[in-house]
Amino acid sequence: MDISIVIPTYNESENLPILIDRIVKVLEQSGIEGQIIVVDDDSPDKTWEIANDLNKTYGNIEVVRRQGKRGLSSAVLDGFTESGSPILGVMDADLSHPPEKIPELVEPILNREADITIGSRYINSGEIEQWPLMRKLSSKLATLAACKLTSVKDPMSGFFFLRREVIENIELNPKGFKIGLEILVRGKYGNVIEVPIKFRDRIYGETKLSQKVIIDYLIHVTRLYIYKIF
Ligand SMILES: Nc1nc2c(ncn2[C@@H]2O[C@H](COP(=O)(O)OP(=O)(O)OP(=O)(O)O)[C@@H](O)[C@H]2O)c(=O)[nH]1
Ligand SMILES: [Mg+2]
């Protein structure tokens, strides 16, 4: 396998079949050998069961059903542990991230032009569709809070790929929502390439963003600044 794409899920039963179908088509067309790892936290809507059914149809999906455990970053890290591929990727299940961009994100890593690639909303040609003003503003503020941690324009993106070596023998904090930022601060890498994406607001299902997620984020960013300074 060239790549493993980790998809963390919590109540994404309506989105996952559409997303997986699109990913499988993109992989077929591009000739990239890919495996999908769905990490589901025992969703009440049985997303894990849907993922198992999808594997019967497509055959390249590994399903991790975590019971008694919750958390986006830790789900992604558990997905990485399951993978044996040299290139690791992450994307949301809610159809916000266009799978059609996967080849553009993977090729620079395959060609050794980059160690990390990021689907970016905040570079030229990048875009966010249908977000209310408040949501845009809070995303910008969160990005601003991290601006001294990395020069990447969209370090909060949940759509990214990396060479496995970037995180080998590195301790990553499994708490919180922003594992990409954590990797950018603690990982070992050379070049990062940002690829513009059109980010779409979720159509089905509910957001998992809460007040607690925002407070956890502020604690996370503070810890990263302390790490960087010392
Ligand atoms: N396994 C797992 N996945 C999660 C958890 N929280 C969120 N996710 C998944 O992580 C991805 C991002 O979560 P979202 O709720 O879309 O967060 P967001 O994109 O910041 O907010 P919205 O798009 O507005 O909902 C989605 O695929 C979620 O299903 C969790 O605790 N465990
Ligand atoms: Mg989302």
183-202 pLDDT, tens digit per residue, is: 999 999 999 999 999 999 99
pLDDT digits (tens, 9 = 90+) for 130-176: 899 999 999 999 999 999 999 999 999 999 999 999 999 999 999 98
Number of domains in the chain: 1
The residue to mutate among 92, 199, 206, 207, having the most atoms of ligand 1 within 8 angstroms of its beta carbon, is: 92
Q: How many whole angstroms from 97 Cα to the centroid of ligand 2? A: 9
Look over the chain and give the mean of its residue pLDDT values, rounded to a whole number.
96
Residues near ligand 1 (Cβ within 6 A): 8-10, 12, 39-41, 70-72, 75, 92-94, 96, 158, 202, 207-209
**SS3 for 167?**
helix
What domain range includes position 187?
A: 3-229
Angle, CA 13 vertex, CA 7 and CA 15 arms, to 5°:
65
Checking 47-52 for CB contacts under 8 A at 24+ apart, the result is: 47/9, 47/10, 47/11, 47/12, 47/13, 47/16, 47/93, 48/9, 50/13, 50/16, 50/17, 51/9, 51/16, 51/20
Q: How confident is the model at residue 203 (pLDDT cuts 50, 70, 90)?
A: confident
- What CATH number has the domain bearing residue 74? 3.90.550.10
Q: How many whole angstroms from 94 Cα to the centroid of ligand 2? A: 5
Q: What is the pLDDT of residue 97?
A: 98
In the chain, the percentage of residues whose pLDDT exceeds 70 is: 100
Q: What is the pLDDT of residue 209?
A: 82
Which ligand 1 atom is nearest residue 40's CA? 1
Provide mean pLDDT across the span 110-136: 96
